[in-house]
Chains A and B, each alone.
Chain A
Amino acid sequence: MTGQSLLAWISAAITFGTVIMFGCIGETLNEKAGGLNLGTPGVMMLGGIASLAGAFFYENVVTAPNPLICVIISLLCCLLACSLAGLLYGFFTITLRANQNVTGLTLTMIGTGIANFFGGSLVKLSGGVGQINVAATSRAFKVGIPVLSTKLGIVSKLLFDYGWLTYVVLAMAFRMQYFFNKTRTGLNLRAVGENPATADAAGINVTKYKYAACTIGSAIAGIGGLYYVMDYVKGTWSNDSGIEALGWLAVALVIFTSWKPANATWGAYLFGFCYWVYLYIPGSISNVLMKLFKVQRSTYMQNLYKMIPYLVTIVVLILVSSRKKRENQAPASLGISYFREDR
């Protein structure tokens, strides 16, 4: 394996990891308050299309788009759309106490549908498939860390030459971990997810916390969709629901990290590595594996490689549950609606 392709692999893993890390942090926040939001893939789709639409219309109206305004507009559109989706999820599961799995899956379908519908419209407006392009906004999001991203040769390329959201999400992951473990608000939030009746009896406004968690959590997850559109696929759109596929990995990553956002800072990249194995694995190793598993074609092998992140998640689940450490388990009331007068 050449250094060049290893570098490309790392780079691909990091951009991939950034998308799912946003999704993972958002979903973790949601789940820590007891909301199992399986709508996260849909929310990320919405985040992607909303930011794209915002950027698209801004770039179409102005002749020389200002990068800062590009960033602000697309971020605002993304956050607004995803908060609304989170709020909708909250209204159904918290106020109406609907089943969380059904609501979440429906939200994914709706989100994907809306995103692909408007994605198609935008493609048409821009004159055909592959024509859509928000170059200015994409460029604004791809700005790396100044100085460090150019001056250090290979180190720059390896560590500092990614879009700035890559570093934002890392900071966010550690901040979230700090929030859960070191702040009173975080303590209250975890209590809501562990045992809402207890939290309620302790005077915590369970409904408020749950709503806040699913709204903010969805907004954070949505930025993953924005990053996918602006950085990962460089400001284009195709109706292949690629974000949704990554969204499910983000949900799996929450389990992989055992609900600790700090673990996502390496877990997400590990998932990225695993995901791209099929492109970067040296041919010699792949040939051996093909013989070993009696696989005829390399495309079949690719599909096997793509399962690796999920296999890793299952292995982690088995390991974690066999160790029976209470701190590594899912929040105790995850997926259960809370009603105070229920006996």
Chain B
Amino acid sequence: MERFDDMDNNCAIQLKNITKSFGSVKANQHVSFDIRKHEVLAILGENGSGKTTVMNMLAGIYYPDEGEIFVNGKQVTIKDPKDAFDLGIGMIHQHYKLIDVFTALENIVLGLEPEEKNDMAAARKKVNDICERYGFEIDLDMKVYDMTVSQKQTLEIIKVLYRGADILILDEPTAVLTPQEITKLFAILKNMRRDGKAIVIITHKLNEVMEISDRVTILRKGEYIGTVNTSETNENELTEMMVGEKIVLDIARDFVEEKHKRLEVKHLTVINKDGKRVVDDVTFDLFSGEVLGIAGISGSGQKELLEAIMGLQKPEEGSSVVYYSTAHGVHELVGLSTREIISHGLHLAFVPEDRLGMGLVGNMGMTDNVMLKRYRKGKGPFLHRSQPQQMAVKIRDELEVDTPSLDYPVRRLSGGNVQKVLVGREINNKPTVLMTAYAVRGLDINTSYAIYNLLNEQKKRGVAVVYVGEDLDVLMALSDRILVLCNGRVNGILDGRTAVKEEVGLLMTHLKEGN
């Protein structure tokens, strides 16, 4: 009995039977679990499992349809973020909620009542105290638009602590950080745990769950699956709980015998508007029936390279991209506009990394988004919806896109479903060259594998596939050849079957002599 009381005191938040729907999509169904003081709780789940939604209800962004929330043993209603602050709950969102044109200090005090007359000086002192206590480093007079992602995250955490939060919720905090920055962040989280704070991290990276958390709560498709102590579990068990079935970790890589040269890229150079050579004298060939993986630390010119090939960036003089088509002969692509490239009968498909910005129109449904790439194919002045609609149905059924209807705005779908719509549309246009950039960014394991399979299928059909990716393991398992970019230059082209991870890593970070 005594032990029971003790547990109650230790409990910061209890969730009971929380349910939330958006339209007809159920984001959370009868979710119940607790968050304790002095611990790091990891919320684990695939994309669209409702991790962020349930936490947003604690932060006052969403309001639950059903269920009860207890904070420190008392039942509470959290109507808006202000209520959450008053209860000591602070959330650090995946998309930072900062005002770009304000300084760090202005962002920290935003929305608070001034405590005394010369309040900015007092605020500065209080912030400095917090920084010293937990080990943050920050320039309080820096404008947010000058900050790196890591600095912005630091600012977000300080902001929440300044408001006196005892319960911190971090939504995928490591997604955008470098390994060194992650180490720093984890050190700070440990300091906060020692200080008695309750910390929740939402994530789908298993190694981080194992490293930092005390307990793990798993959600699947909006439902609560269970909570385990991190010390009593392992990555395999967690994966099983997360996806519901054991998944084979091998990615298929078939060998296609028949290969034809599709693209011949020679001396491709792109200078951006700051005068930097983002793509520097890049030369390589691309063959049908292969996956060419492009590796490189982020910002090494991957995006610009693909865009230059597609005619979205203007290459410098001397650049050449020659396209060899089996049916239509040989074409020089440099100097053509994107539309001309398509009207030539060339099939290049492009999956931009910014899914909703460049890839799809958020407010339109699946049918209309499919039509975006086909509307010129109809005859007469009116749009023909029947064919795109059939195609949308095909994409939905084959790739298992979870959407209430074909006309449901794609911006309201989860990240994985948006990506499926995008990749599905590109593949359905029967490309001969399919270029993808960060096709699995932010996707859960199952959806990622579905995408890998799609790419492999295309390869077997004789498509030349370019895969720009972040996860080196995936890149090395999927690609037939790996092109490593470093500072916009080709730093080596390796065979995907024999390449060693350390070698690729070295090529990514160190430009070879004489290159």
Contacts and interface: CB of A to CB of B under 8 A. Distances in A.
A7 B114 CA distance: 48
A198 B143 contact: no
B93 interface: yes
Interface residues of A, number: 22
Contacts of B22: 341, 343
B62 A201 contact: no
A204 B98 CA distance: 13
Nearest to B108: A202
B427 interface: no
A195 B159 CA distance: 16
A195 B61 contact: no
A203 to B, nearest CB: 4
B61 A340 contact: yes
- Max chain B Cβ within 10 angstroms of own Cβ: one of A195, A200, A203, A341: A203
Interface in B66-92: 80-82, 85, 91
B111 interface: yes
A201 B81 contact: yes
A184 B61 contact: no
B97 interface: yes
Contact of A202 (B61, B81, B114): B81
B114 A198 contact: no
Contacts of B143: 326
Judged by DSSP, the binding face of A is helix
B15 to A, nearest CB: 19
Interface stretch (A81-89, A186-194, A243-251, A299-307): A186-194
A158 B249 CA distance: 84
Contacts of B81: 200-203
A327 interface: yes
A252 interface: no
B134 to A, nearest CB: 21
A335 to B, nearest CB: 16
Given A184-B119, A326-B145, A340-B61, A199 B101 contact: no
Contacts of A200: 80-81
Contacts of A98: none
Contacts of B97: 195, 197-198, 201-202
Interface in A301-339: 326-327, 332
A194 B411 contact: no
A2 B80 CA distance: 65
Interface of B: 22, 59, 61-62, 80-82, 85, 91, 93, 97-102, 106, 109-114, 119, 143, 145, 159, 411-412
Interface of A: 184, 187-188, 190-191, 194-195, 197-205, 326-327, 332, 340-341, 343
21 contacts: A184-B109, A191-B99, A191-B110, A194-B99, A194-B100, A194-B101, A195-B98, A200-B81, A201-B61, A201-B97, A203-B82, A203-B112, A204-B111, A205-B82, A326-B101, A332-B100, A332-B101, A340-B61, A341-B22, A341-B62, A343-B412
